[in-house]
Amino acid sequence: MVTVRDVARKSGFSVGSVSIVLNNAPLARYMSDEAKRRIKEAAHKLGYKPNQFARSLRGIRSHSVGVMVFDVTDPFCTLIIRGIENTLYEQSYLSIFADAHNERSRFERYLEMMLERRVEGLIVVANWLVVDINLLADLERHRIPTVIVARQIQRQSVSSVLVDNENGGRMAIQHLYDLGHRQIAVLRGPKAVEDSGLRWSGIRRFAKSTNLKLDPRLTVDLPDSPDANYSFEAAQHLTADLLQRKLPFTALLAYDDVTAIGAMRALTNAGIRVPEQCSIIGFDDVAAASFTSPALTTVRQPMQAMGATAVQLVSEAIRAGSEKRDFSPVTRLLAPELVVRHSTAIVRR
């Protein structure tokens, strides 16, 4: 292992000078260019890499950010992770990664481990499960910049990044409306999930503004569940039930893509052709959405951008902290985007 001492010996300067030059410390302006050059050259030749532990021990930056995901298995979050990774990379941060597995105890233990490693910031990807209050209190107790992705939080110290759910809900229903659909079934998400409520209010607002009637008997909720993939089966059953009630509908608006795909399966099984006899629209634009037959029309969440934005927020907050400026947490709502594929069509007359 090459240390400052080695560089000092090789370059003929003292450890102090080496440290000053290599860190571009204020005192470096008193050093001659020649000295700087020689020191840098020696460092490079020896392949000197400052020991991160020694730096961190001195309370300098740890150059790492904690990334806590609630469920890596959820297809929704892989692109978010890429966005996070990508942007952290650009800013030379390394990420300490943890999959909380939707378990509170894991979350807490990981949080502690991350704090021990002195992460400079924390990004929580809160897919699916409800984040309970105590857990947020945990996040608030420590004083490091925290951003939560895909969930809005009303707290003093935590920023949020998420898609504009209300607007997204509106885009979905409007797309169906524009295609001429008037009898629309809505498969809402679990009641405990806030996203679902927001999307629903976007839907309702649009309906009200256009005098579209949404039959309450055609509006059903997914059950609460800790498993994101379970919603596929649940959606299948709910849709099958819906069909049995013999209430006509020409389109189905689903809470998310997995739900939509489940619904599509139920319709196909019942001999109903998509989109000729029934249109389907999802939400998220998960990878699997383009793999279905027909390919799923959906409202895309800009997941990679969400990840990138999260990193920008923490990194701003970190900078603010180190410069002793204030940084009040913000909520960033990113615009969703309608992706028209082949699961929606003009209504048959």
Name all contacts of 138-144 with Cβ < 8 Å and 24+ positions apart.
138/107, 138/108, 138/111, 139/111, 142/115, 144/115, 144/119, 144/120
Site for a second copy in 96-115 (CB under 8 A): 96-99, 101, 106, 109-110, 112-114
Binder among 40, 42, 58, 296 for DNA (CB under 7 A): 58
Tokens of 10: 């090789």
Nearer to DNA, 20 or 306 (CB): 20
Nearer to a second copy, 57 or 330 (CB): 57
Q: How far is the CB of 57 from DNA (least distance, A)?
A: 4
Q: Answer for the pair 294, 275: CB distance below 8 angstroms, yes or no.
A: yes
Which partner in DNA, a second copy, none is near 243 (CB below 5 to 8 A by kind)? none
d(CA 56, CA 77): 31
Binder among 25, 37, 45, 54 for a second copy (CB under 8 A): 54
Q: Is residue 265 part of the contact set for a second copy (CB under 8 A)?
A: yes
Q: Is residue 107 part of the contact set for DNA (CB under 7 A)?
A: no
Closest of 165, 187, 216 to residue 331, by C-alpha: 165
Place of tokens 């740890």: 62
Q: Is residue 292 part of the contact set for a second copy (CB under 8 A)?
A: yes
Q: Is residue 91 part of the contact set for a second copy (CB under 8 A)?
A: no
Binder among 5, 117, 237, 273 for DNA (CB under 7 A): 5
**Around Cβ 125, how many Cβ atoms within 10 Å?**
29
Which partner in a second copy, DNA, none is near 133 (CB below 5 to 8 A by kind)? none
Nearer to DNA, 119 or 129 (CB): 119
d(CA 264, CA 145): 42
Closest of 258, 270, 188 to residue 228, by C-alpha: 258
Q: Answer for the pair 107, 100: CB distance below 8 angstroms, yes or no.
A: yes
Binder among 44, 45, 57, 348 for DNA (CB under 7 A): 57
d(CA 100, CA 124): 10
The crossing angle, in degrees rounded to 10, of helices 15-22 and 33-46 is: 90
Q: Is residue 79 part of the contact set for a second copy (CB under 8 A)?
A: yes
Binder among 10, 17, 159, 283 for DNA (CB under 7 A): 17
Closest of 271, 295, 285, 274 to residue 185, by C-alpha: 274
Residues that bind a second copy (CB under 8 A): 49, 51-54, 56-57, 62, 64, 67, 72-73, 75, 78-79, 81-82, 85-86, 89, 94-99, 101, 106, 109-110, 112-114, 116-118, 229, 232, 258, 261-262, 264-265, 268-269, 287-288, 290-293
Residues that bind DNA (CB under 7 A): 1-5, 12-20, 22-23, 25, 27, 29-32, 34-35, 48-51, 54-55, 57-60
